[in-house]
């Protein structure tokens, strides 16, 4: 007995390797249900989710909204501008208020401390749909994509080529949970969050290398991964970033350094000719659309885990 503590998903800190694999197996299960029609599978029936987007989005917003709909729930879409997070309304009041109306909050915000504040005041689960610090939903979908293709094991070398940004930070967080070889190839001055890096390294689960020579880093890679050079909110730095990142493009020459079986990944939106060449982005080694589609499946799995834990547990007891 006692009060159940509500679960948030702000990052990977509350998970362990077994729980991540459990979530992947459930993602696979509900992906199959969808492929078979899935009309009777409504584990979020009667539940509503408030979604706050303080930055642009295509994949995240559509995959959450469609996913919630498919699970029998309802999504309320809020533009950050109209809510006025921290200006029209205090973060604390938003958390308290939405907890009276909804069953969960999905939020895309700037400072990570704001989503932490929201999670603190809300009595319902809060899901990180990207902050300046991290993008855990993305990396769950990425790792699941490799897992379902049989490309994931302790020896998998994932090389992130580009900015030590929110997406790179989430890869580093994952490397603290699941064993693999993670390499970030970034320009000097564009290194990842030091706190997350130190934490992940202290866990001693994976080898995590930070390098500044992208061609050297790409050697024998199983996965070459990239993201935009200028993240949302950094538009003023774009010129300087274009210069700094020029050698960090995933292109055919870089793919040649990787294993012949290597795949190319990109969380998107993609800028062909910048962080990735058109040849690679649209070529046979890219698995970017599978990766994007899997956002839907892993986020649905996550929502069932957070909002209907009995259903989630039932699956794991019977499989």
Binding residues for carbamoyl phosphate: 108, 135-138, 295
Using the rule CB under 6 A, is 227 a contact of ligand NVA? yes
What binding mask, one character per residue, do residues 117-156 give for ligand NVA by CB under 6 A, x or -?
-------------x--------------------------
- Whether 106 and 50 have beta carbons less than 8 Å apart is answered as yes
Largest interatomic CA distance in the chain: 59
What binding mask, one character per residue, do residues 261-290 give for ligand NVA by CB under 6 A, x or -?
------x-----------------------
Q: Is 135 a catalytic residue?
A: yes
What binding mask, one character per residue, do residues 107-136 give for ligand CP by CB under 6 A, x or -?
-----------------------x------
Residues sharing a CB contact under 8 Å with residue 126, sequence separation 6 or more, in sequence order: 8, 9, 10, 95, 104, 105, 106, 107, 115, 118, 119
Tell me which residue of 15, 23, 10 sits closest to 315, measured CA to CA: 23
Instruction: Decide which of ligand CP, ligand NVA, none touches 227; Cβ closer than 5 to 8 Å per partner kind.
Output: ligand NVA
Return d(Cα 222, Cα 48) in angstroms, integer.
40
Using the rule CB under 6 A, is 228 a contact of ligand NVA? yes
Q: Which of 8, 132, 193, 227 is catalytic?
A: 227
Q: Is 108 a catalytic residue?
A: yes
Q: Which of 103, 138, 222, 299 is catalytic?
A: 138
Return d(Cα 63, Cα 59) in angstroms, integer.
6
Q: Is 267 a catalytic residue?
A: yes
Instruction: Decide which of ligand NVA, ligand CP, none touches 31; Cβ closer than 5 to 8 Å per partner kind.
Output: none
The residues assigned a catalytic role are 108, 135, 138, 227, 267, 295
């Amino acid at each position: 007995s006692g009060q159940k503590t509500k679960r948030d998903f702000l990052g990977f800190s509350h998970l362990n390797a077994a729980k991540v694999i459990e979530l992947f197996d459930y993602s696979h299960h509900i992906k199959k249900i969808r492929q078979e029609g899935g009309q009777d599978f409504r584990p979020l029936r009667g539940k509503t989710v408030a979604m706050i987007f303080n930055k642009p989005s295509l994949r995240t917003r559509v995959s959450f909204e469609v996913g919630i709909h498919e699970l029998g729930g309802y999504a309320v879409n809020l533009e950050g501008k109209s809510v006025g997070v921290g200006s029209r309304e205090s973060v604390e009041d938003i958390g308290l208020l939405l907890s009276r109306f909804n069953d969960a909050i999905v939020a895309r915000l700037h400072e990570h401390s704001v989503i932490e504040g929201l999670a603190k005041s809300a009595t319902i689960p809060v899901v990180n749909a990207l902050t300046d610090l991290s993008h855990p939903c993305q990396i769950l979908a990425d790792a699941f994509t490799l897992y379902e293709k049989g490309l994931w094991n302790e020896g998998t070398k994932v090389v992130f080529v580009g900015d030590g940004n929110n997406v790179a930070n989430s890869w580093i967080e994952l490397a603290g949970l699941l064993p693999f070889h993670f390499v970030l190839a970034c320009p000097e001055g564009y290194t990842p969050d030091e706190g997350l890096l130190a934490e992940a390294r202290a866990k001693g689960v994976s080898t995590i290398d930070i390098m500044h020579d992208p061609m050297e880093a790409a050697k024998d890679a199983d996965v070459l991964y990239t993201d935009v050079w200028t993240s949302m909110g950094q538009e003023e730095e774009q010129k300087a970033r274009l210069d700094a990142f020029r050698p960090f493009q995933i292109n055919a020459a870089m793919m040649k350094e990787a294993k012949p079986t290597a795949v190319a990944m990109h969380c998107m939106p993609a800028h062909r000719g910048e962080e990735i060449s058109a040849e690679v982005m649209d070529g046979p080694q890219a698995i970017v659309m599978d990766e994007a589609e899997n956002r839907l499946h892993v986020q649905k799995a996550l929502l069932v885990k957070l909002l209907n834990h009995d259903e989630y547990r039932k699956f794991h007891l019977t499989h």
